[in-house]
Amino acid sequence: MTGIFDEELREQLALARKALAQARADGDLDGVQAYQGRIAGLLRTATKHGITLEHTEEEESGES
């Protein structure tokens, strides 16, 4: 079960990063802020469950 949870977190993080990049490209400041928060939340969830995901300090703080 842990493997499925790990995989889902990784997939959700990849989708959020892609959406963040698109929001930036579109100049959508609200979208950028929302996806920065989504990424930070996913990273907190991973940490809470002992899952290590590669990330930047900016992503962790919601400022990616």
Nearest 5°: CA angle at 2, between 64 and 11? 35
51's CB contacts (< 8 A; 6+ apart) are 5, 6, 9
Give residue 61's pLDDT: 80
- Taking 50 as the pLDDT cut, the residues of the chain under it are none
Q: How far is CA 33 from CA 15, 17, 23, 62, 64, in A?
A: 15, 12, 9, 8, 9
Give residue 1's pLDDT: 58
3-state helix, strand, coil in the chain (%, to 5): 80, 0, 20
